[in-house]
Amino acid sequence: MRAFQALVIVAVLSGAATLAAGVTAMRPVLGIVLPYLALAVFLAGMVARVVWWARSPVPFKITTVCGQQRSLPFLRRQPLESPFTGWQVVGRMALEILLFRSLFRNTRTELTPRKNLAYQPDKLLWAGALAFHWSFLVIILRHLRLFLEPVPRMVGILESVDGFFQLAVPTFLLTDAVIVAALLYLLARRLFNARVRYVSLAADYLALFLLLGIAGTGIAMRYFWKVDLVSVKELALGLVTLRPVLPEGVGAIFFVHLFLVSVLFAYFPFSKLVHMGGVFLSPTRNMANDNRARRHVNPWNHPVPVHTYEEWEEEFHDKLVACGLPLDKE
């Protein structure tokens, strides 16, 4: 049911864009006004969210670790599992952001036929997530050919690697297939795994359907209902050089694609997709496990008058000396 709600939302959005693209007066809205609005909402929303997170108090250092922390010299420590310095945190975060290391440890809990509870590694979600995110990144970078003039050589190299097999004309791009397969897997996982379905909200499906819609229209434009690429680049360059133009003869499907992308951008800061920025601010990951070496002051602490050992020694200095007790200061 919740999946159905999300599907209806995406279908209505696509249908509305299709209808609007047929009306000449609506094209400037779809092609110029909405993309600008969406980008403004995206940038302002992301900055606001990150600043909001950054302003929250940090009462404790709650690094989650799964390895030996820095300790006695003869104990072999694991800097990536239990980082102590800033650079070790950077290494750990890089593995997390680029390779989803914590998801790699994902386990599946299941009752065996004999009703024993069994935990087993589940790498499929990790593989699906990695396939989706990386192909999405490659696709975004490939799109730079429509936004940059001159086109940097790296974009061309990326596309030629992506189209390595030189299958079909226009060249079949691997990431197109991978992203659709990965999205369908992530969707199937929510639909057919009863426990995952139970915790899935309409918003979870909405992101998947929206991304499928964007990938679908993009692929359709490349292979089936072709649009005039030169006009598309004119439009894209007009947007980014702040001199918007609306060339004639761009197919309706392009406007559907652009509209769904605008929706994604505008929806981004308000949805779970904001984990793009949030992953950098995960408190259990981005703090060094140095509680024993550096004191972390809880900002919520009530101010308590303390009398440190140094002050105490200072206060009773003469009496301690008179008793012949050893002093720290000397």
Contact string 231-260 vs other proteins (x = CB under 8 A): -xxx-xx--xxx----x-x-----------
Query: Please, what is the minimum distance in Å from the beta carbon of residue 282 to other proteins?
Result: 13
Stretch that binds other proteins, among 24-32, 144-152, 184-192, 266-274 (CB under 8 A): 144-152
Q: Does 91 bind other proteins (CB under 8 A)?
A: no
> 21 vs 239, which CB is nearer to other proteins?
239
- Residue 295: exposure state from Cβ atoms within 10 A (0-12, 13-18, ≥19): exposed
> 20 vs 232, which CB is nearer to other proteins?
232
Stretch that binds other proteins, among 116-124, 131-139, 154-162, 191-199 (CB under 8 A): 154-162
Tokens at 28, concatenated: 């400037």
> 145 vs 197, which CB is nearer to other proteins?
145
| Residue in 277, 282, 291, 313 binding other proteins, rule: CB under 8 A | 277
Q: Does 229 bind other proteins (CB under 8 A)?
A: yes
Would you say 90 and 101 are in contact if contact means Cβ atoms under 8 Å apart?
no
- Within 165-194, which residues bind other proteins (CB under 8 A)? 166, 169-170
End-to-end CA distance of the chain: 75
- Angle, helices 124-147 vs 174-192, to 10°: value is 140
* Rg of the Cα atoms in the chain: 27
Dihedral (Cα; 175, 181, 187, 192), 10-degree rounding: -160
| Residue in 230, 293, 325, 327 binding other proteins, rule: CB under 8 A | 230
| Residue in 9, 32, 103, 146 binding other proteins, rule: CB under 8 A | 146
> 226 vs 275, which CB is nearer to other proteins?
226
- Within 9-68, which residues bind other proteins (CB under 8 A)? 42-43, 46-47, 50-51, 54-55, 58
- Within 99-128, which residues bind other proteins (CB under 8 A)? none
> 171 vs 271, which CB is nearer to other proteins?
171
| Residue in 101, 145, 189, 222 binding other proteins, rule: CB under 8 A | 145
| Residue in 104, 134, 147, 172 binding other proteins, rule: CB under 8 A | 147
Query: Please, what is the minimum distance in Å from the beta carbon of residue 10 to other proteins?
Result: 24
Give just the sign of the alpha carbon dihedral 218, 179, 182, 167.
positive
Interface residues with other proteins (CB under 8 A)?
42-43, 46-47, 50-51, 54-55, 58, 144-151, 155-156, 159-160, 166, 169-170, 226-230, 232-234, 236-237, 240-242, 247, 249, 277, 280-281
